[in-house]
Amino acid sequence: MKAALSLCLAGCLIATTFAEGSLRIQPELTSDHEVKAVGESASLPCTVVGSGFDGWKNSVIWYKITQDGEEIMINTNSAVNEPFDSTGRYRMRRDPSDGSIAIRITLDIDNISVAENGTYRCVLKDNSKIVSHMEHHLIVPEPVKELILTTNKSRSEQDGNITHTVFEFEKLKPAFVSCSSTGGNPMPTLKMYRGRVDVTDEFEQNVIETRIGPKGLEEVKYEIQLVNSNFLASPEYNRHNLKCVSRVPRSGKSDKMPHHKQTRVAKIVVSYAPVFDCPLEWAAFVATEQFAIHCSVHANPPIDANDLSWHVGDIKNGTEIGIGKSVDGLSANASVDSETSKMNVSLTIDQVNNTHFQNYVLKARNELGERHFYAKLSLATTTISTSTTERSPNFVDKGNKSPDSKPVLTGGSASYQGSVHWTVVASLLTSALLALLRRREA
């Protein structure tokens, strides 16, 4: 009798093939993966075909294979062994021979629990020698029992009838963020998203497996944690969602496997000191009327108008002009942009003269600090351009002027790299038009 080794994927028939008439286990036409919910029943057939089955020397044995690869014998002939017998849920069913079928031994399992999850192997023996075997994979899906998303500081926020969880961070200050799941079968996957961006790689994953019950009937409990002890949040992520998603994955080729999914979401709220969005330099002609210097500033917590002021010259010795105040022909005003929550601040000069060509400092503060922004008003020439740049707190922190705010001299005129701010262009055109009208009137 010649035998050739057949190799195939786990779950299909793994057996030697024999000459016609020899005893062997017949491959099952059903899927190699049985998916059953908790409480259902399963029937795993093992069909021996061929001739010459002898109950004295041939036997059909079922084994449960543990996660460690150990084989636990379920039956001895028609008797169910421990620990399976004491459950009252395991039965060996023998069907009589029929045609080419020598014997069929079906393993019936009632009222399935997660402990039944795993691989079952049916073995045909001739005395003590294994002559053929096959495997069934029984999958008992279970959703994650608990999913928790946490950080150092959080609160609840009401939006109509909906309550949101809010995670509070300080700008670029390391914080602890964790998402942990308990339960789930097969082992679930955890992913973290900031908005729509997958940031799972920024987190460390820890997995704890706990096995409960005797060998062969072990339930595996999974505890999975994604943790980042140095999570950094910046203002651009303000009001975005931080989301943790757990999924019990599909397994093998089965389409019956439910795709259990759970989600926990928290809104990101970032606190930060004032940040300015202003041109570095302005330009005007002498005698220009109602010339305005504009600047926008934002912060969280938001800035109050009483915490804003302009300073002519420098922050220590210059003239201070509070919002809503006028001093020596200069008026300070502010308004809030309802869409962006930015504070739009302006300093208006009634009529420009040579004394106005100097530095101006905008001071802003909130609970997290005081910041200063330095701007310069210059005599208009055709070579002056400005760039609008979002400035970091270091640039304006406590009046420390950034080195990159110094002008670059080109042909005796102050020039800055970047695009011309539209308000500067408008003021230049207005000043030129007024000067032309005065010449004609004269």
- Domain C-terminal end among 92, 118, 139: 139
Pairing of strands 189-194, 241-247: antiparallel
Are residues 108 and 230 located together in one domain of the fold?
no
415 close to 424: Cβ distance less than 8 angstroms: no
Domain count, the chain: 3
Are residues 318 and 415 located together in one domain of the fold?
yes
Pairing of strands 33-35, 129-139: parallel
Cβ neighbours, 10 Å, residue 84: 23
Are residues 146 and 135 located together in one domain of the fold?
no
Q: Distance between CA atoms of 108 and 93, rounded to whole angstroms? A: 7
Helix (H) / strand (E) containing 283? strand 281-284
pLDDT at 102: 80
SS3 of residue 393 by DSSP: helix
Among 303, 295, 279, 275, residue whose Cα is nearest residue 392: 275
Among 227, 235, 243, 240, residue whose Cα is nearest residue 268: 240
Are residues 126 and 157 located together in one domain of the fold?
no
pLDDT at 161: 85
Q: Percentage helix, strand, coil, to 5, in the chain?
A: 10, 55, 35
Strand partners, 359: 376
Q: Which CATH number belongs to the domain containing residue 106 in this structure?
A: 2.60.40.10
Are residues 118 and 101 located together in one domain of the fold?
yes
- Ranges under pLDDT 70 in the chain: 1-21, 28-32, 97-99, 250-259, 382-442
Are residues 297 and 186 located together in one domain of the fold?
no
List all residues 6 or more positions away from 404 whose beta carbon is below 8 Å from its beta carbon: none
- Domain C-terminal end among 139, 163, 197: 139
pLDDT at 404: 36
Are residues 119 and 147 located together in one domain of the fold?
no
Are residues 147 and 131 located together in one domain of the fold?
no
Are residues 319 and 383 located together in one domain of the fold?
yes
List all residues 6 or more positions away from 255 whose beta carbon is below 8 Å from its beta carbon: none
For 100-203, where are the E strands, in sequence order? 101-109, 118-126, 129-139, 142-151, 154-159, 162-170, 175-185, 189-194, 197-198
Q: Distance between CA atoms of 234 and 12, rounded to whole angstroms? A: 53
Are residues 213 and 340 located together in one domain of the fold?
no
Look up the domain containing 227 and give its range: 142-271
> What b-and-e string marks burial along 311-335, b requiring 16 or more CB atoms within 10 Å of the CB?
bbeebeeeeebbbeeeeeebbbbbe
Are residues 148 and 187 located together in one domain of the fold?
yes
pLDDT at 425: 53
SS3 of residue 429 by DSSP: helix
